[in-house]
Amino acid sequence: MHTPTFQRPMRCLAAALFALVLCSTALASAIETYPFSSELEETRFRSLIAELRCTVCQNQSLSDSDAPLAKDLRREVFGMLQDNRSDQEIRDFMVERYGEFVLYRPPLAGHTLLLWGGPVGLLVIGLATALIAIRKRRTAL
């Protein structure tokens, strides 16, 4: 069967992307390895350290950071998982000590309403403005 020539570069691109994904997962697992008792526990550990902020290097999560404190906190998270603590309890543990700032996904509450609602609000304002502008032009024509 005849294959269109454009498929070749696409394949190369796909291979390159795949290699990149492999590399990044290899990098991500460069942090300490813990003896997880189950796959679920490992998944929980990974998602928790990805959504907790490293307070030393503030634009990195615990999973990204090489800082000694991030290492201590990962050990802490692992220890709490071993103690059968829930994800929420682990998040609360961090918030009690470092404040809500450590959560990359802050809770939806009164004081975070602007943060969560802001983008939607801006979108509504934008749509309303566009609508008014379009109507005005229509009536002008």
Partner 1 sequence: MIRALIPLGVFVALIILLVVGLQTSEERKLIQSPLIGKPIPEFSLPTMQDPEARITHNDLIGEPFMLNVWGSWCWACREEHPFIERLGREAPIELIGFNWKDRREDALAWIERYGNSWSRQVVDFEGQTAIDLGVYGAPETFLVDHRGIIRHKLVGPVNANSFDDLMRRAMQLRAETQ
**Does position 110 bind partner 1 by CB under 8 A?**
no
Q: Which of 28, 50, 56, 109 binds partner 1 (CB under 8 A)?
A: 56
Q: Is 56:69 a contact under the CB 8 Å cutoff?
A: yes
Given the complex with partner 1, which of 23 and 56 has the nearer CB atom?
A: 56
Give every CB contact of residue 36 below 8 A, 6+ residues apart in sequence.
Answer: 42, 45
Instruction: Give dist(CA 8, CA 117) in Å, integer.
Output: 45
Q: Which of 85, 95, 103, 112 binds partner 1 (CB under 8 A)?
A: 95
CA–CA dist 110, 124 (Å, integer):
20
Stretch that binds partner 1, among 10-18, 42-50, 96-104, 108-116 (CB under 8 A): 96-104
Select from 41, 98, 103, 106 the one that contacts partner 1 (CB under 8 A): 98
